[in-house]
Structure 1
Amino acid sequence: MAKCTIGPYGHPSGKIGNVVFYMLNGQPVCRLIGRAGKPSLKQLANRQGMSVTMDLVTALADFINVSFKLEAEGTVRNAYNLATSYNKKQALTGEYPNIKVDYSKVVLSYGSLEMAADMKVSKGEDGINLSWDTNVLRNGDNDDILMLAVRHPTSTRASTFLNAARRSDGSCFIPIHEERMIDEQMEVYVCFKSANEKLISDSFYVGNLNGQAETDGEKFEKEKYKAVKARFDQVAADYEKKRNSYDSGILQSKSFRQLSTEYHALKEKLKHLPGKPS
């Protein structure tokens, strides 16, 4: 995408050849359209990275529209654009085709308001408990509002609470209404906004509850390892039986040579194949 500066006849609008011109957030821009060629590995990685980021940001959109509102003011970008940009650059880990979110690095707000110290989270019977230090050291106030987001990666959803508590409360209970979600992976984030909504803090990753769920890629790797291991066990039993028979006719046969080749190939493959049980 490129910016399209205004010429003597104004800026164009619509499609001209394989270029389309339009307005985006008050700026004239243009994009090339047409049939794309075969994507490179770098392009595939970029696409997967964007897809993973969009899944994260879309689930947290209600929170982000408030938490990045101040950051977006006075720019041509909106809160959603900023969250997408920050997290695509900072919160992804792994290589294509196994790119995923590093939840400890997710960014949900930037600001100068003071974050509370000693933020802790624990799971209750039907929700989560939060606690924090109420002491104000810099520019916080007792009536600052706690915003909280809980990402549920297994269900690709999020629970957001934009007015969860006051800073002076020091603790709060957050109900998780769907029973199955309380036992699934949860990633918890908070930030504070001032009562007049003119200041906001950096977001803070409070932590994980219930551990990490397996990704689709990890599940695929485990299933692949199990299939190769099952074949190896079958081949190994046959190989050892024939190798220990001391029958020269069997050991010199073409079928045994093929069996030996497959045995050693599978044995070497299992050494380097991901998905091995820990």
Structure 2
Amino acid sequence: MAKVYGNPISLLFSGKLGNMVGTIRNGKQYIRSLPKKSSKEPTAKQIAHRARFCFASNFIRSIRPIIQIGYNPSRGSKYTSPYNMAMACLMKNVVTGEYPDFSIDFKNLELSPNKSARLRKATIKKGRKNIKFKWKLWNKDEYDINRHKITMIGITEEHQLFYSDSNIMQEDQKGRLAVPNIKTGTNVYCYIAKTDMKDKQRFSGCSYIGVVKW
């Protein structure tokens, strides 16, 4: 069922209307026709591509809280959502393997497209029930140091996400990320992100640090 917005002259709608589908994004109308069902059997290449796309989509959903911040689009971006931005990156650089055995290349996984303000010389160490993060200050500008919050992130090889949500600042130079109950031998891939306190809706930089075997 379609919903009409505004006055009848504008005819803005969302949903199905005949053989069309309408969506409204940022006050703009987008219309596309419904796809026609094909009577042809999909090729092996098409099946593999669909499976790869589904694998990437499921992974993004499993780390959605971080994607929403890391890929929050800036004004003027050609992408309309964090999901679209992350999918473009994953499909190009991160999903590896051949159908049906796909995997994530965690070293190439970028949890934010912003690269200009990444932390440098960050290290990790396994603790008893946590992962210890340390980093060094690369900018002696006190204003720059004090305005950035640090988020420590862990993702298991089974795509379980956990991350810090405390007020750890860049000037602290260390922090601990609590680890939930995960089975022994699990690989935890670790990342560290900076958030400018003036723009808390988007990471200003995020880096892959390394892996800890739990």
Q: How many equivalent residue pairs?
A: 199
Letter of the 2:102 partner, please give it: I
Unaligned runs of 5+ in 2: 1-8
Distance 1:9 1:110, change over 3 A: closer
Partner of 2:5: none
Distance in 2 (CA, whole Å) between partners of 1:29 and 1:36 is 25
Q: Answer yes or no: is the 8 Å Cα contact 2:152–2:190 preserved in 1.
A: yes
Matches within 5 A, 1:131-146: 131-136=134-139, 140-146=144-150
Distance 1:92 1:164, change over 3 A: farther
Q: Answer yes or no: is the 8 Å Cα contact 1:60–1:149 preserved in 2.
A: no
Give the CA deviation at 1:197: 1.5
User: Which of 174, 195, 202 is 1:171 aligned to?
Assistant: 174
Distance in 1 (CA, whole Å) between partners of 2:93 and 2:174 is 30
2:88 counterpart SS class: helix
1:202 counterpart SS class: strand
Distance in 1 (CA, whole Å) between partners of 2:11 and 2:56 is 36
Letter of the 2:190 partner, please give it: V
Distance in 2 (CA, whole Å) between partners of 1:36 and 1:132 is 57
Partner of 2:208: 205
Partner of 1:186: 188
Partner of 1:23: 23
Letter of the 1:80 partner, please give it: Y
Distance 1:160 1:36, change over 3 A: farther
Matches within 5 A, 1:51-130: 51-69=54-72, 71-75=73-77, 77-111=80-114, 113-130=116-133
Bigger RCO (CA 8 Å, 6+ sep): 2
Distance 1:182 1:145, change over 3 A: farther
2:151 counterpart SS class: strand
Give the CA deviation at 1:161: 2.3
1:66 counterpart SS class: helix
2:152 counterpart SS class: strand
Distance in 1 (CA, whole Å) between partners of 2:103 and 2:167 is 29
Give the CA deviation at 1:21: 2.2
Partner of 2:154: 150
The root-mean-square deviation of aligned C-alpha atoms, in Å, is 2.9
Distance in 2 (CA, whole Å) between partners of 1:24 and 1:163 is 36
Distance 1:183 1:197, change over 3 A: farther
Q: Answer yes or no: is the 8 Å Cα contact 2:148–2:169 preserved in 1.
A: yes
Q: Answer yes or no: is the 8 Å Cα contact 1:114–1:140 preserved in 2.
A: no
User: Which deviates more from structure 2 when the two are superposed, residues 51-60 or residues 27-36?
Assistant: 27-36
Distance 1:114 1:27, change over 3 A: same
2:67 counterpart SS class: helix
Q: TM-score scaled by structure 1?
A: 0.62
Give the CA deviation at 1:174: 0.9
